[in-house]
Amino acid sequence: MKILVTGADGFIGSHLTEALVRAGHDVRAFVFYNSFNSWGWLDRCGEDVKGKFEVFAGDIRDPNGVRTAVKGCDAVMHLAALIAIPYSYHSPDTYIETNIKGTLNVVQAARDAGVRRVVQTSTSEVYGTARFVPITEEHPLQGQSPYSASKIGADQIALSFFTSFGTPVTLLRPFNTYGPRQSARAVIPTIITQIANGKRQIKLGALHPTRDFSYVADTVAGFLAALHSDHCVGETINIGSNFEISIGDTARAIAEVMGAEINIVTDEQRLRPEKSEVERLWAANDKARKLLGWQPHYGGAEGFRRGLVETVAWFNEPSQLAAYKSELYNL
Average pLDDT of the residues in 218-245: 97
- Note the pLDDT of residue 274: 93
Asked if 27 contacts 73 with a C-beta cutoff of 8 angstroms, the reply is no
- Note the pLDDT of residue 91: 97
Segment 16-33, tens digit of pLDDT: 999 999 999 999 999 999
- Note the pLDDT of residue 328: 87
Burial (0-12, 13-18, 19+ Cβ within 10 Å), 317: exposed
- Note the pLDDT of residue 228: 93
Asked if 242 contacts 278 with a C-beta cutoff of 8 angstroms, the reply is no
- Note the pLDDT of residue 186: 95
Residue type, 98: T
